[in-house]
């Protein structure tokens, strides 16, 4: 690693926080998909015949 390049601690912190939020979001999505699975095709309701 070069000693001439300064480290932007603010940008690194934002990246870590973003990664943490993204991981939590993915976990929540997986939990919802398991609890409420989406079907491949939406259920279509036909018209009632009179």
pLDDT of amino acid 38: 77
Q: Residue 4 has what pLDDT?
A: 81
The tokens for 31 are 């939990």
Tell me the per-residue pLDDT of 1-26, one tens digit each, with 9 for 90 and over.
Answer: 557 888 899 999 999 999 999 999 99
How far from the centroid of its chain's Cα atoms is residue 1's Cα?
Answer: 33
Question: Given this model, what pLDDT does residue 19 score?
Answer: 97
Q: What's the CA gap between 24 and 32, in Å, rounded?
A: 12
The end-to-end CA distance of the chain, in Å, is: 78
33: left (phi over 0), alpha (psi -120 to 50) or beta: alpha
The closest of 18, 11, 38 to 26, measured between CA atoms, is 18
pTM attached to this predicted model:
0.56
Q: What is the pLDDT of residues 38-48, one digit of tens each?
A: 776 656 677 77
Tokens at 28, concatenated: 């929540």
pLDDT value of position 37: 83
């Amino acid at each position: 690693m070069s000693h001439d390049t300064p480290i932007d601690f603010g940008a690194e912190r934002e990246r870590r926080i973003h990664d943490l939020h993204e991981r939590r979001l993915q976990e929540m999505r997986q939990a919802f998909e398991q609890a409420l699975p989406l079907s491949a095709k939406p259920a279509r309701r036909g018209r009632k015949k009179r």
